[in-house]
Amino acid sequence: MTQTLATLLGGVVGAIIGSFLATLILRWPQGRGVTRGRSACDGCGRTLTPLDLIPLLSALFQHGRCRTCGAAIDPLHGRVELGCAVIGALAIGAMPDLGGIGWALLGWLLLTLAVLDWRHYWLPDALTLPLTFLGLTLGLWATDVVLLDRIIGAALGYGSLLAIALAYRAVRGREGLGLGDAKLLGALGAWFGWQALPFILLIAALAGLGVMLATGRAKEATARVPLGTFLALAAIPGWYLAHALF
């Protein structure tokens, strides 16, 4: 398979995956079914046809609105579809093998987790735990991190944030750090090894602080920070720094 064909294939598959993930992001937190029943317009309830479900293109040709009732289509659909298409194209185009598939799955899952945490402060086990499993298996073809370092990374990533969460609860008497964050950091340790964890945490903390300061939320005593979003965004840069230094 040529690189051009692999890139195109990765982009198309990514857009299709993104269509499903966007629906999952919108419906799952509301307790709505994702895999059951046919897709329908949220405005008028019309069952969507295949022409309405072409990733990126359908919303573009319909000017972002339902053909029947004119209700606006949530722009999240197009953004996630485009993001997943780019991830798929880059990953499969660069590595048209199991490694590329691993990178694509990692990117798609991190994008989903980042959006879910940003919108709902939620990192579901149904995504973080498979991400850990993939890091210890398929991830072996994606990066040159040895299995032992991955296992240590998974344990250290989870254990370190778990300890912080328990200590905060003991001192302050309330929750300050979700265990979803600990599980996500453990998953990143499974992908990139324990060496990358300090860099991922540092980048995530700086990015989170920057956003909090820019939005003025840092002055709020009870402000919540979607740490999982910033961990997801810091994963690749953190691994790159660790890879360059070690």
Q: What is the pLDDT of residues 138-192, one digit of tens each?
A: 999 999 999 999 999 999 999 999 998 888 788 877 776 778 999 999 999 999 9
Question: Is 157:186 a contact under the CB 8 Å cutoff?
Answer: yes
Query: In degrees, to the nearest 5, what angle opens at C-alpha 112 toward C-alphas 86 and 101?
Result: 50
69: confidence class by pLDDT, cuts 50, 70, 90 = low
The closest of 49, 87, 81, 79 to 66, measured between CA atoms, is: 49
Question: Is 116:124 a contact under the CB 8 Å cutoff?
Answer: yes
Q: What pLDDT sits at residue 178?
A: 79
Q: Does 102 have pLDDT greater than 80?
A: yes
Q: What pLDDT sits at residue 82?
A: 96
Tens digits of residue pLDDT in 4-28: 899 999 999 999 999 999 999 998 9
How far apart, in whole angstroms, are the C-alpha atoms of residue 236 and residue 113?
15
- Give CA separation, 130 vs 121, 166, 186, in Å: 19, 24, 11
How far apart, in whole angstroms, are the C-alpha atoms of residue 194 and residue 198?
8
